[in-house]
Structure 1
Amino acid sequence: MGNFSSLNEFMPYPSRRSVVVGTRGMAAASQPLAVAAGIQMLEQGGNAADAAVAMAAVLAVTEPGSTGLGGDCFALYYEASTRQVYALNGSGRAPRALTLERLHREGFSTELPPFHPYTITVPGACAGWCDLAERFGRLSLAAILEPSIELAERGFAVAPLTAHFWQRGAEVQLRHALNGGELLIEGRAPRAGEVFRNPNLAGVLQQIALKGKKAFYEGPIAEAIVDTVQEAGGCLTLEDLAEHSSTWDKPLSVTYHHLKVWECPPNGQGLTALLALNILKGFDLAALEPLSAQRLHLEIEALRLAFADAFRFIADPAWVDLPVEALLSETYAAERRASIHPQQALMQVSPGEPLKGSDTVYFCVVDEMGNACSMVNSNYMGFGTGIVPRGCGFSLQNRGLNFSLDPTHPNALQPGKRPYHTIIPALVTHAEDDALFAAVGVMGGYMQPQGHVQVITALVDDGLDPQSALDRPRFCVQVQEPGGRVALEEGIPKQTLESLSAMGHPIERISGMERALFGRGQIILRDRESGVLWGGSDPRADGCALAQI
């Protein structure tokens, strides 16, 4: 099976997956082994928090080109007994020794190279896992991490899409990064179906299982991280790691029709999805053909406006005051909505004035009690910097690349500050009583809020089941490119492409493996009357949804 000449031979036809249904718990992720670990935790008496952390750890083993202990995490946790939503920010901060002055002295005045050791922020994933399990979980950390430790020790068969992107990471990052060879086999990525062992990562996970997050942020593991970063030319210190902490934040929400959509607050970009949905709820999307030019035009324009505000305002709220309430007000949404021309693309999109007068894993789980966890974990840009702490078996993220080097910008680099973050989980509840409706997420850089908008409108405006919502072809506005090119996935009608182009949208059609641009999502929806769970998993990934027996 590992000798196919092209990965496209694994996927010669469009997906025709059925939605998964169940009456107890359910888990969904981009790797079946992670889903199995989540279900295993539920069978052992654990809840959604235990299952989510077990899934995060298994994904760190089986999909290291997307996630791992060298990255960050965010989670939204729904507590069924209180119908409350809690937001966990597990993102790290810039090293204390990293300043704009230092960068300017070294010739970095406008941007950093993408894989430079200065882009390494403190990895927040480990603390996030431990904090989520400690606050809401039932099982011991040793029990939660057992599946990931076993897989790392004995090895696992690498999934096809994972192998493809692992090889890309080998060529772009790992072969050129300090100790990157720890994640390769004789200088290459493992092939599809090939067994990969990572005993170094197993050792790290065993230490965390025994001693908790302290094992990661102090002692030999922390020393390996710091020694490697400094050898590579970075400035992360033991003090930076020891000072790290997750934060529990008040989640943000907007009402979209009869539902309430929840996102983590900044420094994450979940605000972007809420801004766009606030604009779109003023249009009758359900009356428009889902893949018509008129429907996509409105969604594209709403997202352009939302990103303009996101890039202007999103930053670490510990450092700057953010006008979140004003940005999410009905008045501001109406103002932004009015700027959308029904037949013509906006040529220039600027941030508004609310105060006048963006490679990742997403996974979710719902337990038998109705608790839900929507979680995302990421390195950024695949393997991040590709730099591997010696003997640890994971690569270090490059999230610091998302800082602005403009000292006047709210997201300007500062020592100890969190950067603009692209990874965002979402939850949806019924507006009238906050009963759970769905755990939702679409991973993939700046595609993430765009994916949230597209799958939520598919669920709410069009009444699709989770699998159908994920199967639907997507668009992706290239928000960081001049002109904002719009990528359209194969399956969107030719007439729609032509009409959007006539409206002034710069269009590009995307097919084959490049469809990874459109992200990879998971959805678990709960029927409030029967309690039946409906799950879907993105056909653009290796994963699945699975119901508890």
Structure 2
Amino acid sequence: MDRRTFLGAIPAGAALASGVTSSASAQEAVKTAAAPAAPASPVADPYAGIGIGDRISGPKFVGRSTVWGQHGAAASAHPIATLVGIETLKRGGSAIDAAIAINAALGFLEPTGNGIGGDAFGLLWDPKQRKVVGFNGSGNSPRLLGLETVRNRATNGLLPRYGAVTVNVPGTVDAWWSAHQRYGKLPWKDVLLPVAELCEQGVPVPQAIAYYLERNMGLFDRQSSIIEENDNRKKVYAPNGATPKVGQIFANPDLGRTLRIIAEKGRDAFYDGELAEIMVDYFRRIGGWIGRGDLAAHQTEWVEPIKTTYRGVEVYSLGPNTQGLSTNQILNICENFDLKTMGFQSAASIHHQAEAKRLAFEDRAKWFADERFSQTPIEYLNSKPYAAERAALINPNRVMDRAFPGDAPTQGDTTYFSVADKDGMMVSWIQSNYRGMGSGLVPADRRGRTLGFMFQNRGELFATTDGHPNIYAPGKRPFHTIIPGFACKDGKPWMAYGVMGGGMQPQGQAQIIINMVDYGLDPQEAGDAPRWQHYGSSEPTGEPQQGVGKLHLENGVPDATKARLREMGWDLGPTDGGFGGYQNVMMQQNPDGRWTYGAASEMRKDGLALAY
């Protein structure tokens, strides 16, 4: 589909609102990766004390309504990516076709959160099998990079944030290919070529992405001494000496060319062809470790999801090397308490949820790792009896002085999107380069022509301590924070949902389920509700917990709740922008027998939900 055809399929109002023009010239956030530099002097907020406007119906804290449709729906972190997904569905594509197109588009539109240099995971409802299936699209560490070298690059046992030592094999392109082979309807190239054209033509940059682009490039500049090569990222993301500002046109023709090669020649071009040769040669020149054999050996793994129930709702997640089990554990613990009676946004409700998080994250730090190298006692940690034991540790009136992992039998910035099609397939997809934009490394050929994407820095999450399940090893997958979410009711699909943002993800996913199940909120209301996030638990890198940690609350949490939480012993932190990004597509079963889709997007980001 050419650009004129794509634009013609977009309603005029939507095209104007999204900033798309026909002229040819024409986002795991990990808190630390996007923290702004301290201003020289305090600047008064001219909007301090101003609340939101009033809505005629629904809770007053909600910014917009859930979007409804019957044939398809999509929700992503960028309006144009959502439009790309909807148009792919309208051209006869499956939800997987639309998911691939959305992900490819977001790698260009939201490079602060994802790209083909990173990994991908998914959960989806297969309407033919009538079950939830999952895939793990994460890559291995380089086989030529040894533990001793990794330890030499570490500081106090922790790996650096950036540079080649943090790069593992990118899994996203193969995840696209593997999912398309199973569930695609449109020809492979017809899914990717419209996105390649979008990269070449360029689009205006929205507010949040402009902010994160500037902050990420500043962080790379300040850490440039640990990054082996710094020119290529500037060519791609700051082509005129600065990152694009809000409303300015940004194009990435190098990425467009890379996507065209993948569209025409398939995934092998990336893992065992001309693109692979450029990447391997690039690492050879800068002193990195990814080799041709590392790329050629990569394969997406289709996996059986982990399931639990929360007050009758079936909740699915992916097992280690992801943190998906943490969502299940938080919900399993919370199920032991009557959160509804405690009250929405009450101190008691938030206290019990946050304590459940602290307990779950200690198990996460102890056990979660690549299952091919160590075995996590998943069945035990996911069980209701174990959750009851853990729940009994929570004091209803006082924060625990210290949380410990259980005794089980012998454990960044991101983009998330949801999409559903007319046949009932629903896809929950998450993809990330990890901290900020990734490692800082953008591959290029010997003529200096880049491939238009940045490699991930997911390897930062390896541990270096002997005996730790997540200790670095060649050919091993690191611990992963990114997790898609999926939920069913009575064996039927209910929600393809997720909350992006490092350790916020299981905390945020649990809050969405609790908001909808315990407090009766709809998809948009559940996402717009004020959130909490707890920092300071032990980490799978070997970093120890920091006392009781710090509980951050958004401004919308009532003052009385904050005061009571302080009385209970919580150390409260300010609202810091680290509360994640959320998308959701929900299937509603109607009395006439025909389902409809309700789609919701994150008001904290630049995103958009659409249905038709």
Question: Shared fold by TM > 0.5?
Answer: yes
* Structure 1 residue aligned with 2:433: 379
1:382 is paired with a residue whose SS is coil
2:243 aligned with 1:179 = no
2:572 aligned with 1:533 = no
Structure 2: distance between partners of 1:269 and 1:463: 26
Structure 1: distance between partners of 2:583 and 2:150: 39
Structure 2 letter corresponding to 1:180? R
**Structure 1 residues 23 and 48: alpha-carbon distance in aligned structure 2, compared to 1, 3 A threshold:** same
* Cα drift, residue 525 of structure 1: 1.2
2:567 aligned with 1:520 = no
**Structure 1 residues 193 and 427: alpha-carbon distance in aligned structure 2, compared to 1, 3 A threshold:** same
Q: What is the aligned counterpart of 2:329 among 256, 275, 278?
A: 275
Q: What is the aligned counterpart of 1:493 among 549, 554, 558?
A: 558
* Cα drift, residue 9 of structure 1: 9.3
Structure 2 letter corresponding to 1:453? A
* Structure 1 residue aligned with 2:608: 544
* Structure 2 residue aligned with 1:77: 124
* Structure 2 residue aligned with 1:460: 517
Structure 1 letter corresponding to 2:566? S
Q: What is the aligned counterpart of 1:475 among 532, 538, 541?
A: 532
* Structure 2 residue aligned with 1:47: 94
Structure 1: distance between partners of 2:488 and 2:78: 26
Deviations, residues 372-407 of structure 1 (Å, cap 9, x unaligned) = 000001011121112100110111110000000112
Q: What is the aligned counterpart of 1:394 among 453, 460, 476?
A: 453
**Structure 1 residues 247 and 292: alpha-carbon distance in aligned structure 2, compared to 1, 3 A threshold:** same
1:360 is paired with a residue whose SS is strand
8 Å CA contact 1:31–1:59 kept in 2: the answer is yes
8 Å CA contact 1:436–1:528 kept in 2: the answer is no
* Structure 2 residue aligned with 1:21: 68
* Structure 2 residue aligned with 1:123: 170
Structure 2: distance between partners of 1:223 and 1:9: 53
* Structure 2 residue aligned with 1:252: 306
* Structure 1 residue aligned with 2:464: 405
8 Å CA contact 1:174–1:180 kept in 2: the answer is no
* Cα drift, residue 355 of structure 1: 1.9
2:372 aligned with 1:318 = yes
Structure 1: distance between partners of 2:400 and 2:184: 47
8 Å CA contact 2:124–2:496 kept in 1: the answer is no
CA RMSD of aligned residues (A): 2.1
8 Å CA contact 1:110–1:406 kept in 2: the answer is yes
8 Å CA contact 1:92–1:123 kept in 2: the answer is yes
8 Å CA contact 1:487–1:507 kept in 2: the answer is yes
* Structure 2 residue aligned with 1:418: 477
* Cα drift, residue 106 of structure 1: 5.6
192-201 or 98-107, larger mean C-alpha shift = 98-107
**Mapping of 1:106-505 within 5 angstroms?**
110-173=157-220, 176=224, 177-181=230-234, 182-355=236-409, 359-390=413-444, 391-430=450-489, 432=490, 434-480=491-537, 482-483=546-547, 484-505=549-570
Structure 2: distance between partners of 1:103 and 1:79: 41
526-535 or 60-69, larger mean C-alpha shift = 526-535
Deviations, residues 25-59 of structure 1 (Å, cap 9, x unaligned) = 10000101111111111101111111111100000
Structure 2 letter corresponding to 1:429? C
8 Å CA contact 2:481–2:502 kept in 1: the answer is yes
Structure 1: distance between partners of 2:419 and 2:523: 14
Structure 1: distance between partners of 2:152 and 2:299: 30
Deviations, residues 332-360 of structure 1 (Å, cap 9, x unaligned) = 1110011111111111111101228x600
Runs of 4 or more, structure 1, over 4 Å off, are 8-15, 105-109
**Structure 1 residues 482 and 195: alpha-carbon distance in aligned structure 2, compared to 1, 3 A threshold:** same
Please report the TM-score for the alignment, with normalisation by the length of structure 2. Answer: 0.85
Structure 2: distance between partners of 1:504 and 1:300: 12
Structure 1 letter corresponding to 2:569? G
Deviations, residues 189-226 of structure 1 (Å, cap 9, x unaligned) = 11111111111100110011111110111223112222
Structure 1: distance between partners of 2:408 and 2:231: 45
Deviations, residues 70-118 of structure 1 (Å, cap 9, x unaligned) = 1110001111232211111011110001221223356656122110210
Structure 1 letter corresponding to 2:567? A
Deviations, residues 154-193 of structure 1 (Å, cap 9, x unaligned) = 1111111110101111111268335111221322111111
Structure 2 letter corresponding to 1:389? P
8 Å CA contact 1:103–1:109 kept in 2: the answer is no
8 Å CA contact 1:29–1:545 kept in 2: the answer is yes
8 Å CA contact 2:587–2:597 kept in 1: the answer is yes
* Structure 2 residue aligned with 1:100: 147
Structure 2: distance between partners of 1:438 and 1:253: 14
444-453 or 231-240, larger mean C-alpha shift = 231-240
Deviations, residues 100-138 of structure 1 (Å, cap 9, x unaligned) = 122335665612211021000101111111111111111
2:124 is paired with a residue whose SS is strand
Structure 1: distance between partners of 2:94 and 2:389: 43
* Cα drift, residue 13 of structure 1: 6.0
Residue segments in structure 2 that go unaligned for 5+ positions in a row: 1-16, 20-38, 53-61, 225-229, 445-449, 538-544
Structure 2: distance between partners of 1:121 and 1:94: 4
* Cα drift, residue 523 of structure 1: 1.0
Residue segments in structure 1 that go unaligned for 5+ positions in a row: none
* Cα drift, residue 485 of structure 1: 0.7
Please report the TM-score for the alignment, with normalisation by the length of structure 1. Answer: 0.94
Structure 1: distance between partners of 2:588 and 2:151: 55
2:120 aligned with 1:67 = no
1:486 is paired with a residue whose SS is strand
Structure 2: distance between partners of 1:318 and 1:527: 38
**Structure 1 residues 165 and 105: alpha-carbon distance in aligned structure 2, compared to 1, 3 A threshold:** closer
8 Å CA contact 1:173–1:383 kept in 2: the answer is no
276-285 or 291-300, larger mean C-alpha shift = 276-285
8 Å CA contact 2:68–2:611 kept in 1: the answer is yes
* Cα drift, residue 21 of structure 1: 1.0
1:454 is paired with a residue whose SS is helix
* Structure 1 residue aligned with 2:85: 38
Structure 2: distance between partners of 1:13 and 1:126: 43
Percent identity over the alignment? 39
Structure 1 letter corresponding to 2:580? G
Structure 2: distance between partners of 1:547 and 1:457: 25
Structure 2 letter corresponding to 1:362? Y
**Structure 1 residues 95 and 108: alpha-carbon distance in aligned structure 2, compared to 1, 3 A threshold:** farther
* Cα drift, residue 437 of structure 1: 0.8
Structure 2: distance between partners of 1:479 and 1:528: 41
Structure 1: distance between partners of 2:194 and 2:249: 16
* Cα drift, residue 325 of structure 1: 0.4
1:204 is paired with a residue whose SS is helix
**Structure 1 residues 150 and 99: alpha-carbon distance in aligned structure 2, compared to 1, 3 A threshold:** same
How many pairs align? Answer: 538
**Structure 1 residues 10 and 531: alpha-carbon distance in aligned structure 2, compared to 1, 3 A threshold:** farther
